[in-house]
Chain A
Amino acid sequence: MSKYLVNLKINNIPVSVEEGTSILEAAKKLNFSIPTLCNHPDLTVAGNCRVCVVEVKGAKLLAAACATPVSEGMDVSTNSQKVRTSRKHIIELLLAEHNSDCTKCFKNGHCELQDLSSEYRVGDHVFLDLVKPKDKIQDISSPSIVKDDSKCIRCQRCVRTCTELQSVSALAVINKGDQQKISTFLSKSLHDVVCTNCGQCINRCPTGALTEHNYIEEVWNALYNPNKFVVVQTAPAVRVALAEDLGFEPGMRVTGKLVSVLKKIGFNKVLDTNFTADLTIIEEGTELLKRLKKALVDKDENVALPMMTSCSPGWIKFQEHLFPSLLNNLSTCKSPQQMFGALAKTYYADKINVKAQDMVVVSIMPCTAKKFEAGRPEMRDSGYQDVDYVLTTRELAMMVKQAGIDFHKLEDEQYDSILGESTGAAVIFGATGGVMEAALRTVYEIVTGREVPFTNLNIIPVRGMEGVKEATIKIKNVKPEWSFLEGVNLNVAVAHGLVNAKLLMEKVKSGEANYHFIEIMGCPGGCLGGGGQPIPTSPEIRKKRAEAIYAEDASMTLRKSHENPEVTEIYKEFLGEANSHKAHDLLHTHYKVRKRY
């Protein structure tokens, strides 16, 4: 049913929009931009910053444009004297509570409040400074996220993100009036609460109140240290987003330039997390087949199915806190980042004659939870911390600028070998549904000897931005050794964003769901929408990044993980077979039960 059209005037220009449209959206249609701070395309409307107030003729009060639906005959001014006076007051009030040490702020130049105060030229600070000294003490307890209350403007985007998108609610509003602030359970430090380190709050924080725990200086120091051999790995989703922080439009693929810039920055070897993504498929696919065999052939009732992916460290910590009874369902495979780290400091270090203790492994990730993951005590199977430093896509962009490299003019370069080769199956790890698609491409072929029955290998049912996706694949005409799978309908599900993960887990827990394999990515859209990706984010931006991911996959010659020649080689030379003892030592892990509170 189509909605009624509502006719109104904005700044004396008539416009017709659908019933229920906000004044903000209607104004956008006429190319009038109204400033906002608490509003975000991924979140419900709050209407609490009041920066977007507009004047509606005949009304005593100004209306918050984001929160006020249009009505017939409305006569709106977005820039009247009343509006400007109030808006400027509001910005000045926000600045009075805001620790305006902009030049020293990590978000300097990327701050919505800074942009707004510059736009309105609120240089002459009218109001009294209200920043509380104790709020200036940053919470640096988390290896992923830094919280600085003195920068917070109480827009509550982070709170809504943590609740609405992630159903974690690590961040909440406490107290009221002048004491109101964004805090955690019992005001504990971020490291000691249910926070999954996903960083989605950072992506939506308009100021410097929430930022990543950055390790830029540590990485420069390693690079400057002549005694260190610094290798870098790059996650799939970085190559389709980095450009946004360097002046390009969303959706630009810069894989070759990424390699080139990392070499120019001075990394000794530029390698690819995509290689270990392919390796993950072999390990995880084998693990899935083993679990299915145990369940179907050995009738082992203790085998944990559905099996769930384990690439997303935010998701892992979520599961550890909220669904500890389902930890056995998680694949024991480490994430590609950690497989890379463990192999780099063993197999690869040996190969290139570098001592493990002299090697520094840096990862460039779309993710803040990876910073936490790298520091987990389980992740030291090389005998050292397998991955030393994790930088977000944003931090890398800063390093590129600091190094004075003109990214636009770089020539494409190739990843170093070995640990640099990858397939299209690996690059789609960056999008929701990608691990599932990659796994199916390989598992189906292992079992049947034939390619997965989808045109051009594109398993469309697991692609796209729907919160929970389901698919069933009938396995037919299997190879003799897989006869127990003949005629089996393989039920799979994919969820992204922890609110969707929670929905799915509740179904699994209650026994309502009947899946064999589930892919979960902690962030909306998967890694391409990760907490370490360029800001801003929105459904449109994530859609463009996803298109770039699938274009990258389609452009590659090798598109199935088991066809990666370096993967074949590492099994032959080093690991033996998939899920071997050695593979278990280096590439698999275990999980721990964490408390909810």
Chain B
Amino acid sequence: MAVSYKPVLWNRQKKKYDQILWMGIALILGCFAIFEFLLHPTITIETLIIRATAFTAIILLHIILMIGPLCRLDKRFLPLLYNRRHLGVSMFLIALVHAAFCIIQFHALGDTNPIASVFLSNPNYQEISQYPFQTLGFFALIILMLMAVSSHDFWLNNLSPKMWKQLHMSVYIAYALLILHIALGTLQYEKDLFYTILLWSGFLTISGLHLVAGWKTRSQLRAEQNALKQEGYFEVALLEEISEKRAKAVFVDGQNIAIFKYDGKVSAVSNICKHQMGPLGEGKIVDGCITCPWHGYQYYPGNGQSPPPFKEKLATYRVKIIKDKIWINPSPFPEGTAVEPAIINHG
């Protein structure tokens, strides 16, 4: 039986993280509101809320986008990654307040449906200086909403890790939309250069950090691949090529090898069944055993041994996974030797 889901798995670190997060949010909101009120004493409370929430949400989004590359560059930033989901959901809630006040203030007083009014009230879609920038913010908010509502582990398990990851990578589309939302919106009316400098320096910081982290990851990957080549490994397949509980057969360095993917692991054994030389790679894993498609002879994927009382044994091979690629060392171990399977890391 699996462990039951909880709304939030609180622990001391998470509580501390959230306390600091909400203190930070209150500080940004408060400081911005004070400065805005001092600069524009006639500002209405609605406008103040719209501006303060917009500023806070975009600052939080920048912090969120910086955490990933910072952690790849320096492991000391890892505590920031630990509860990033709460940071993301908090950012979405603040952006939602911003959107709600915008829609109430600018679109709720006419006869048109307020949401339709976001798209229809300004039809200048062909002009850059008067572009209906609110539509860009609307689409960004939809993406952030889909990410926020799918942030619980339940969704990671039920949407599948691949789909969940793809969905959450769309934060970059939301970020691009928001940069345009601000550049074509507030910056067109704002005379103060402060916001322009802040936005573009934020964009350059995010882009720069991603480029540097990407370069570092690539260098590490190359170093790992070169090390594997020197140890006699060959790159033989992509993880996605092999279906769950199925295999891919490869010929490497004169060896006929079947690579099986099962239960988040990958193992490699000889592709030839000991019974009548059936192609094991065309079989599948049944009840935890590789099962020959010809006559159903079975072997454990981790050690190539038939389940007792049977005595058949297959040669086994070392497997490694680097990024999404499977590497095999074609030097066979003696038949029946246990080899640690390579673990599939969905991150």
Q: Is the A/B pair a real complex?
A: no
What is A's interface to B at a CB cutoff of 8 Å? Answer: none
What is B's interface to A at a CB cutoff of 8 Å? Answer: none
